[in-house]
A and B are shown apart, each in its own frame.
Chain A
Amino acid sequence: MKFFDHYHLPMTVNEALELLAQYDGRARVVAGGTDLLVDAQAEYYAGERPHYDALVDVTRIAGANQIHKQDGACPEQSEWIVIGCGVTHTQIVESRLIRKRATALAEACAVIGGPQVRNVATLCGNIAHALPAADGTVALMAMDAEVEVSSYQLSVVSNQSSVVSNQSSVVSNQSSVVSNQWYALSTLFKGPGKSAVDSTRELITAIRFRPLGAGEGSAFARVMRPQGVALPILGMAVRVETRDRRLEHVAISAGPVAPIPFRAKRTEGFLRGKILDDTVLQQAAQILVNEAQPRTSAHRATKEYRFELLPTLLKQTLRAAMERAVV
């Protein structure tokens, strides 16, 4: 069903923000549309009548479809990998940089949807949707990713705010202020499907994280029903930093085991400084089972089954990440 009236393809962040401002909450950001457009349809059949005056497609914003390496602000964090809001899962999977230096993310994006979905769906859309089980989100949580949010404060609120009918007619308002702010990814989730980013007024313009170097490794794994659902029963990502086979630092993220994306802080704390062997793994798994709180979901799995999967996935991802770290 048609649930929007206009479709805009702005070329700059400024233009996108201006459009959103002019529609004053009645327009919404869209990227690949594989969540938004499909969800709107499902809502329609559930008897709701979702409607937006316009969709603002952010994938053609200049530079948005790029993955690049950037120097950091301070010497000890010398570089970032930056992923623009137009970057698709296919691009991520095909990027040598990401496959090598953020393997977990490449693994996560590789299993999202099928090729047709991955060719249009974006990583930013995956996090903006704010689901605790979204695969890209789970991987990025383990990468300690940060997110750039751009918002636009009109200095003078335009009084012809009702309808913008022509996609290129918007005149840039010189006196407006664009604020670009980086946030830790983990701070952007308010609840299942609820993001702190208001996609009717703001824009995620990029995601960044530190590329892994020598002695570091990451891995992602998930268990999925074969048909009918877009989200996994359980997904897990792990990032490790090692020295002489000893775990210096561990990041473990899993979903869905809480209303928002989840980092297993206690399990991470336990593993820090340890050398991984069967006993340590077993103990870590027990701590993980204690701190995670999966629930039963109607179309995917029971709580009990998810509990059973936690140790299995932990073992799988930790081992894989370790192997990658020590080569």
Chain B
Amino acid sequence: MPMLNMSVNGKPVAVEIESNEYLASVLRYRLGLTGTKIGCDEAECGACTVLVNGMSVDSCIYPALKAQGASVLTIEGLAGTWTDGREDDRVGAVARPRPELGDHAAGDHEGAPLHPLQSQFIQQGAVQCGFCTPGVLMQSKDLLDHNPNPTDEDIKVALKDTFCRCGCYVSIMNAIKSAAKEIQGREGREGREGNEGIPNLPKTKTPLNVIGKPLPRQDAVAKVTGAAKYTDDYAFPEMLWGATLRAKYPHAKILNIETSKAQALPGVHAVLTHADVPGSKNHGLIFNDWPVLCYDKVRYQGDAVALVAADTREIAQRALDLISVEYAELPVVDDPVDALNPETIIVNDGAGHGNLLKHIHVEKGDVEKGFAEADVIVENEYHSPFYEHAFLEPECSIGRVLENGRIEVIVGSQIPYEDRRQIAAALDVPEAQVRVRGALIGGGFGGKEDIAAQIHVALLAKATGRPVKMLYSRHESLLFHPKRHATIIRVKTGAKRDGTLIASQATIYGDSGAYASLGDKVMTRAATHAAGPYNIPNVKIDCYAMYTNNPPAGAFRGFGVTQSCFAVESNMDELAPKLNIDPFELRRKNALTIGRTTSTGQIVRESAGLLECIRLVELEVRSWKLEVGKDAPSNIQHPTSKLGVSRRLSKTPDSAAARRTRARQRSKCLKMERLKCVRARRKSDRACRRF
């Protein structure tokens, strides 16, 4: 193995590596500098950004040997470049040995003052899940090294390929600008004295003695220094790497699985199939309909068919190629309306009614009568596609058998207790025998509620007696995990001449994919919100959550309401000109307020923020109109676009309102494509969120 000599964070390093390793993996797995993250592993996301000889690079595709003789600066060394309240000369800072930095372990910055970028990221609230933070900080350092006084535009250009999926962009820009000032001594640290670490949050309430005051984020310092630990940052002696064989087809019978060749590959410690699952063959959050390892058939291409544990990730991957599975292909169901047809092949009978996972019916008053009384009726069909969470940290789990025989699973999961229940059931052990340790989560947004590799690593750890880690590639993550439901929504809205809504009817088909996940809950919310936050006496809603051979659909921010809201509000925008009423006025007139009744019969008693929300949205939208003249071209003037409003009933209306305002294209059947939303956003917002 060749020797790689370089300087890392000012310290000379000599390390034996494989010739084909990348810098990110050398830093993380050989030097233990796990502050450098891997989000995509293909030069897209910037999470792995480090400086090599003072230039930012994506270390995930930077061949490690290319760094031969170079100076490398990682997040762990960032604080060390700031001494005595000033920036060290940039190359000098990375080239000069810095014994005070101590060993390579993450978190060894302790005691060293933070770099202004780090403290400003905390101060400005630019740190959420923190997974992007090291990469964003290093790219920001590169920017300030080359351009001490960046404009907003400079910052956007510099961060073009450095993503934050939590969406901290505005705070990040503020932090970079404040840090630039601090570095130039224009604004000393003293300016912040006394509130170090307490984020600058907008005041919402008059603070009391304890309640209502912003507090320092507990893990903020760890997140800006690279010390924060996500699952893949843990390592154990003798740890093996696991890998999953995914289905070859979206719908096929499994006839035979042959693993002997894989088992014989040197370095392989275990190959498991469904026959090795001792307990419940299925898992699931609501319905037990999702095979731990597929046994009779596969239902989508992300399905797990076999597992391997091996000495290295490469060997595990190679072993997968040696497993042969014999399939008999079945017809593929890719449309939720088809799925409901009684002639269609059954994909999954998880809920006991064939492809129908759940029919949700909501009814209030008499819609027939309502439409008969209506002066104007608008009816449209809307399609929304699957949405990907794209949390920046791909799924990772580590399983190990503890000394007392208990199974421990380390995972960044949104619902660890549900993980424990499902792991115990699959292993056929009491729940007390399973311990799930929550690692930090590098973004979830609903996409880390389902079982990913939690059960698999537990099975492999039991089978091998050694700790086993499974880290999904971005590709595998996209393939495997549940998405936001794709929907087809038909909405009919009826109003009286004066703008009073009198009837609303909706039919929703939700594509819940191969497994239930949280599909019935999500679609229940889509259904209950399909009349909008309006006071309508006659409502009828039918929602069908369907099994198909598409990827499963589950939780995603908004939980089904996003789709309904899109359809309902688009109809409202069409209704307004037909009634010759301002779209804001139309909504105000029909808003649910305290004392009124929702379509499910609930009397609203508190937290009805809609009117306030509409007021703020209106303020903002009207101000855009003024900008149109100077900041042309604006889509508001565009011949095929018009002013529209979207809102959400929310307890904190101000934050939600601003975000959900957008001008919409007018068309009979709109696809809820992100591209269109991007086009509709204002210029500043647009350049900032290019991912």
Task: Check if B63 sits within 8 Å of A119, measured CB to CB.
Answer: no
For B52-77 the 0/1 string (1 means CB < 8 A from A) is: 00011110011101101000000000
Measured between beta carbons, the chain B residues less than 8 angstroms from A225 are: 675
Say yes or no for B314: interface residue by CB 8 A criterion.
Answer: yes
A9/B43 contact (C-beta < 8 A), A38-B61, A119-B56 known: no
Q: Which of A110-118, A267-275, A303-311 is found at the contact surface with chain B?
A: A110-118
Candidates A2, A90, A167; contact of B314 at CB < 8 Å: A2
Bound Cα distance A196, B83 (Å): 53
Chain B residues within 8 Å of chain A by Cβ, number: 39
Task: Check if A119 sits within 8 Å of B57, measured CB to CB.
Answer: yes
Task: Check if B161 sits within 8 Å of A116, measured CB to CB.
Answer: yes
Say yes or no for B590: interface residue by CB 8 A criterion.
Answer: no
Say yes or no for A192: interface residue by CB 8 A criterion.
Answer: no
List B residues 210-269 near A (Cβ within 8 Å): none
Say yes or no for A34: interface residue by CB 8 A criterion.
Answer: yes
Task: Check if A227 sits within 8 Å of B690, measured CB to CB.
Answer: yes
B374 to chain A, nearest CB (A): 40
Task: Check if A45 sits within 8 Å of B161, measured CB to CB.
Answer: no
Enumerate chain A interface residues (CB-CB to B < 8 A). 1-7, 9, 30, 33-34, 37-38, 41-42, 45, 49, 55, 57, 59, 90, 113-117, 119-120, 167, 225-227
A45/B55 contact (C-beta < 8 A), A9-B65, A38-B42, A226-B690 known: no
Measured between beta carbons, the chain A residues less than 8 angstroms from B55 are: 90, 119-120
Task: Check if B43 sits within 8 Å of A227, measured CB to CB.
Answer: no
Say yes or no for B550: interface residue by CB 8 A criterion.
Answer: no
Task: Check if B43 sits within 8 Å of A117, measured CB to CB.
Answer: yes
Interface hub of A2, A55, A115, A117 (most chain B Cβ within 10 A): A115
Candidates A3, A6, A38, A115; contact of B56 at CB < 8 Å: A115
Candidates A38, A57, A116, A167; contact of B2 at CB < 8 Å: A167
Bound Cα distance A2, B41 (Å): 12
Say yes or no for B158: interface residue by CB 8 A criterion.
Answer: yes
Enumerate chain B interface residues (CB-CB to A < 8 A). 2, 18-21, 41-43, 46, 49, 55-58, 61-63, 65-66, 68, 139, 142-143, 157-162, 314, 317, 321, 473, 475, 675, 678, 686, 690-691
A57/B66 contact (C-beta < 8 A), A38-B42, A120-B57 known: yes
Measured between beta carbons, the chain B residues less than 8 angstroms from A30 are: 63
26 CB < 8 A contacts A-B: A4-B19, A7-B19, A7-B20, A9-B66, A34-B61, A38-B42, A57-B63, A57-B66, A113-B43, A114-B46, A114-B161, A114-B162, A115-B56, A116-B56, A116-B57, A116-B139, A117-B43, A117-B161, A119-B56, A120-B55, A167-B2, A167-B65, A226-B675, A226-B678, A226-B690, A227-B690
Bound Cα distance A120, B686 (Å): 27
Measured between beta carbons, the chain B residues less than 8 angstroms from A45 are: 473, 475
Task: Check if B317 sits within 8 Å of A1, measured CB to CB.
Answer: yes
Additional 9 contacts, C-beta under 8 A, given A5-B19, A34-B43: A5-B20, A7-B19, A57-B63, A114-B160, A116-B58, A117-B43, A119-B55, A120-B62, A227-B690
Interface hub of B18, B66, B473 (most chain A Cβ within 10 A): B66
B662 to chain A, nearest CB (A): 16
Task: Check if A9 sits within 8 Å of B139, measured CB to CB.
Answer: no
Task: Check if A9 sits within 8 Å of B68, measured CB to CB.
Answer: yes
Candidates B20, B43, B65; contact of A116 at CB < 8 Å: B43
Measured between beta carbons, the chain A residues less than 8 angstroms from B56 are: 115-116, 119
